[in-house]
């Protein structure tokens, strides 16, 4: 059975994220800077918006599932971060996208739902940031 990759209503989002995060993005349009790159955080409406990635229709929050479907054919079961640490394609697919910049996606690591990474679709690699979700909420 295929997992539902579409957010049907905004009421589903609190099930996917920390309640403080949903309130944080509801206040106003937000952005964060990582290594001089500014990422726009998705609003609740944008998180649930439908997009098509390699023929798979998903909500933005699930965009990594669409990319993993294709890149695992080339990279195998793992991808890597900037330090050469392996990151499982299964965990990447389970991670939630929270923002974007120039095609790169900002996401929460499915391991802890707090660590923030950047996914680079052009190479399938990752950049682990020093940011944590609770830190960006607290420092806003």
Report if residue 32 sits inside a domain.
yes
Residues 62-81: tens digit of each pLDDT = 999 999 988 999 999 999 99
Number of independent structural domains in the chain: 1
Report if residue 65 sits inside a domain.
yes
Q: What is the pTM of this model?
A: 0.93
Report if residue 23 sits inside a domain.
yes
In the block, residue with structure tokens 């929460």: 108
Report if residue 113 sits inside a domain.
yes
Report if residue 5 sits inside a domain.
no
Report if residue 109 sits inside a domain.
yes
Range of the structural domain that residue 108 is part of: 10-138
What's residue 1's pLDDT? Answer: 30
Residues 80-136: tens digit of each pLDDT = 999 999 999 999 999 999 999 999 999 999 999 999 999 999 999 999 999 999 999
Candidates 8, 35, 13; CA nearest to 24 is 13
In the block, residue with structure tokens 């949903």: 22
């Amino acid at each position: 059975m295929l997992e539902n990759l579409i957010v049907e209503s905004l009421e589903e989002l609190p099930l996917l994220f920390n309640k403080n995060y949903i309130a944080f993005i509801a206040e106003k349009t937000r952005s964060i800077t990582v290594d001089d790159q500014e990422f726009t955080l998705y609003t609740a409406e944008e998180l649930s918006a439908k997009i098509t990635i390699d023929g798979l229709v998903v909500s933005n929050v699930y965009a990594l599932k669409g990319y993993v479907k294709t890149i695992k054919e080339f990279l195998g079961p793992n991808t890597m971060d900037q330090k050469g640490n392996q990151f499982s394609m299964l965990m990447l697919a389970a991670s939630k996208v929270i923002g974007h910049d120039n095609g790169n996606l900002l996401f929460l690591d499915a391991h802890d739902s707090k660590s923030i990474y950047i996914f680079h679709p052009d190479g399938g690699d990752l950049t682990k940031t020093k940011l944590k979700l609770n830190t960006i909420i607290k420092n806003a």
